[in-house]
Amino acid sequence: MINLKFNVNGKDVEITVDDSLRLLDILRDELGLTGTKEGCGIGECGACTVIMNGEAVNSCMILAEQVQNAKVETVENLEKNEVLSKLQDAFLDNGAIQCGFCTTGMLMSSKALLDKNPTPSEEEIKTALEGNLCRCTGYVPILNSVKDAVKKYLHK
């Protein structure tokens, strides 16, 4: 067991968990943040993407110990006071949501990109999302959403 201190969505968390738990398990099972999904458990699908210390990561690939003192952001942090973020809005407007299982991971990869690079090229958007698989949409509306979000950010 380890005593873990880290920050999730702006809140400091201190919990004692089994060493072998992954960040994904801690978020879902210990903290009830089930917006982060498990699609494969081995870094091959991106459904479990969260932002850790400013970078998008597969939360299934991070062991408890690696989260010590980290700053973690999950999809639950995007909507504020029931107002969707601009990025979520863009997903909504572009019909980028089908089954929804990849959506939260897609949002987190996109957010990590836009946080670092507010004006990405189409190629940079595709690259940022290449680790997030989607089987429903064929990616078209998702990529359009991110492009759209770029415009929304610029005109704020």
Partner 1 sequence: MKSIRKIDAIPKLNGSWKFLDDYSYKGMIHGQLLYSTCHHGIIKQIHFPDGYDLSEFTMVSAADIPGENIVPEPVCDQPYMADKEVFHFGQVIMGIAHPNRKLLREFISNTSIEYEELPAITDIKECLDNEKNAFGRELTIDHRTGKKPDPNWVHHHKIYYTPHQEQAYLEPQGMIAVWQPKDKIMFVRATCQCPFFVKEGVEAIMGDTIKEAVIETSEGIGGAFGGKEDFPNLLAGITSLLSYKSGKPVKIVLDRSDDIQITTKRHPARIEIETWTDPKTKKIMKIDIDYRLDAGAYQTLSPVVLARGVLHAISGYSIPDAFIRGRLFHSNTPSNGAFRGFGAPQAFAAMEAHIDNIASDLKMNPYKFRKINLFKIGDEFPTTQPILEDHLSNCLERVIDKSNYSKKLKEFKEWNKTHKDKKGIGISIGYHGGGYTGNGEKVLNSEVKVVIEKDAIVKIYVSNTDMGQGAHTTLAQMFFEAIDHPREKCRIQLPNTSKTPNSGPTVASRTIYIIGNLLRKFAFKIKDELGFENLEGYVASNQNEFPREFRMNFVQDPSVVFDDENYVGVAYKDYSWAACVTEIYYHADTYQIELTKSWSVMDIGKVVNQKIATGQAEGGVLQGLAYGLCEFFYKPGYGRMHGFTDYALPTTMDLPEIDVEFIHNDSPIAKGLGEIPMDFPAPSVRNAFHNATGIFINEYPLVPERIYSYMQRATDRHRQTQTV
Partner 2 sequence: MKFYKPKSLLELFETSEKIEGKKYFLAGGTDINVQIKNGIIKDESIIFLNHLTELKGVLQSDNHIIIGALASFRGIIESKLLKNKLPFFQNSLQEFASPLIQTTATIGGNIANGSPTADVVPLLLVLNAKLKLFSKSKLREVPISEFYLGYKKFILKRNEIIGAVLIPENAETGYETFYKKIGSRKALTIAKLAIAGLKRISNNKIEDIKLAVGSLNEYPRRLYKVEEYLKNKTVDEIDFFELESQLKKEITPITDLRSDKEYRYQVCVNLIRTFLNH
Window 37-76: residues binding partner 2 (CB under 8 A)? 41-44, 46, 49, 52, 55-58, 60-63, 65-66, 68
Q: Measured from the CB of residue 41, what is the shortest distance to partner 2 in angstroms? A: 6
- Closest approach, Cβ 131 to partner 1, in A, equals 8
Structural contact between residues 105 and 46, judged by C-beta atoms closer than 8 angstroms: yes
Q: How far apart are CA 72 and CA 67, in angstroms?
A: 8
Q: Which of 26, 72, 141, 149 binds partner 1 (CB under 8 A)?
A: 141
Cα 115 to chain center, whole Å?
12
CB 101 within 8 A of CB 142: no
Min dist. Cβ of residue 117 to partner 1 (A): 16
- State the helix-helix crossing angle for 103-116 and 86-93, rounded to 10 degrees: 130
Please give the residue ranges that form the binding site for partner 2 (CB under 8 A). 2, 19-20, 22, 41-44, 46, 49, 52, 55-58, 60-63, 65-66, 68, 109, 127-128, 130-133
